[in-house]
Amino acid sequence: MAKTFDGPIEQIDAYRWRLPRSWRSDMRVDGVIYATQKLLDEALTGGGCDQVANVATLPGIVSASLAMPDIHWGYGFPIGGVAATDVEQGGVISPGGVGYDINCGVRLLRSDLDAKDVRPRLKALVDQLFRDVPAGVGVGGPVQLSRGETTKILEGGSRYLAGRGLASQEDIAATESGGCLEGADAEAVSKEAYHRGSDQCGTLGSGNHFTEVQVVDEVFDRAAAEVLGLCEGKVTVMIHCGSRGLGHQVCDDAIRDLRSAPARYGIQLPDRQLVCAPVNSPEGWRYLGAMRAAANFAWANRQLLANLIRATLARFFGQSEQSLGLRQVYDVAHNVAKIETHVVDGKPRTLCVHRKGATRAFPPGHGELAAAYRDIGQPVLIPGDMGRASYVLAGATTAMEQTFGSTCHGAGRVLSRHAAIARARGRRIDQELASVGVIARARSREGLAEEQPEAYKDVEAVVECVHQAGLSRKVARLRPMGVIKG
C-alpha cells in the first residue's frame, strides 16, 4: 500500500506548499512543493514528500529543498527535486540528486511539413522510424566506438561530434551548455561503463524514452514561437533519452564508491540513498567529473539520434533536410548537477544545483543563453504522455528568484510501472492510442503498457502550475501523432 505523507503542510500561495523545517530536527531548510491542490493530493502518497524533507537535511543546502509539480518517488531525491548546496560552505553532491540516467533529456526538431499532408502517410512514416531508430533494452546502434573515441565523446560531447562533421554550429547553439559540460573526467569513468557505452551512442533505449512525431497544436506566445520556428499545423519530432548503460554504470559506481564517505566527513543521513560527499573533496570532484562525462555522452547520443531521424525523414519524403526545414529547436537536460552562481540572501554564491527530473529555465537576458534565445529565455521542453500532449515553455525571472532557474521536466508518474502493466492486462494500448489518432510502435506490449497515458499525471495541469507560478511560460502545445518506444 502506498505510504501517505503524515507531516505538516502549510500553504504559501496558490501554487506553493511548505514543509516547515521545524517539523524535523535534522532539516536545515524548509521543503517547498510547487503544486495545485489536486497535484498536491497526488503527491502526498508514494513517499516523494518524505524525500523532500530528507533532502532538506543535506549539508550546505541553501534556501529550500524544492519539488516541482511532477514530483514522485525516486532514488534518494524525489523525481522533480531541486536542491542547491553551497560549494564553499561544505555543500555536498549526491548521485541520488542526479539519478541513474544522467542527462536524460529532450531534443526537439521542427519542420516545414504540414501535419495534414503527413497524416495520410503517417503509418508508413512511423514504421520506417521504428525500423531505423535503434530502441529497446540493451539494443546497440550502428556506431561502434573505440575506447579512444568514447573518451573524446566523454570529454567533448556534441562539440567533439561537430569536429567530426556530425553536429552543426546551429545544433551546438541550440543545445543546453553547448552540448558539453567542461571539467568532464573520462579517467573517472570505469572500464565497465566504457564497455556498456561502446555500442549505445545513437540509441534510444527503453522505459519512458521515445521518439515522437508531433503536430504544433496551439501557440500561446507567438513572438517566442516565431524565434523557435514553431507554427501551428507544422510537424515536429521529439527525442527523449539519456546516457544509456554508460550513465547508469557511472551512477552505480559512484553510489558504491561514496558509501563510506558520509562517515568520513561526519555526515548523518536519514536515508542511505542520499549518499554524498562534499563537492570540495576528492570523492566529490571524482563523481562530478564522471557525471559530467556521462552528461556529455548523453548529448552526443541525442545528437546522433537527431542525425539519424533527419536522414530518415529526408529519404522518406524524397527531399533534402534543408528543403524540409529540419532544424533543432533546443535540447535540454533534466537529470544533472551543475556548478552555478546564484544570488542567495542578496549575495552571489557558488552552488552545486541538483536537478533530478527538473529542467533548467533561465530567463530572458541570462548570460548563458545563446544569442538567439537571449530575448525570449531558455527554451524548456516538457514531454507529456503518448496520448495527450507535450509542451514548449520558456524560462522566466521568477525561476531565478525561487528555484535556481528550474522548472518541471514532464508529466510525472502516478502509477508505478508494475501497477501500469497490471492495469493494462487484457487491453491493447496500441489500439486505444490508434483510436485517438496516435500510431504507436514498441518492441513489446509490456513497453506500451507501462507507459500508457493513465500512468502519468495530466501534463496540462503540471504545465499550467509552473506557468501560473511564474517558473516558465507557455509557448506552444505539441500533440502526438506517432510514437516509437523500446
What positions carry a catalytic annotation?
409
Distance CA 245, CA 238 (A): 21
Residues 292/183, Cβ–Cβ less than 8 Å: yes
Distant-in-sequence, close-in-space partners of 425: CB < 8 Å, separation ≥ 6: none
State the CB neighbour count (10 A cutoff) for residue 281. 18
Length of the chain: 486
Report d(CA 383, CA 355) in Å as an integer. 16
Q: CA 176 to CA 336: how far, in whole Å?
A: 12
Residue 271 has φ and ψ, to the nearest 5°, of -150, 125
H/E element, 111: strand 105-114
In DSSP terms, 239 is beta-bridged to 107, 211
* 446: nearest Cα among 416, 483, 484, 420: 420
Q: Which of 258, 273, 277 is nearest to 59 (CA)?
A: 277
Apex CA 40: angle with CA 403 and CA 472, to 5°?
Answer: 35
Cell of 55: 533532502
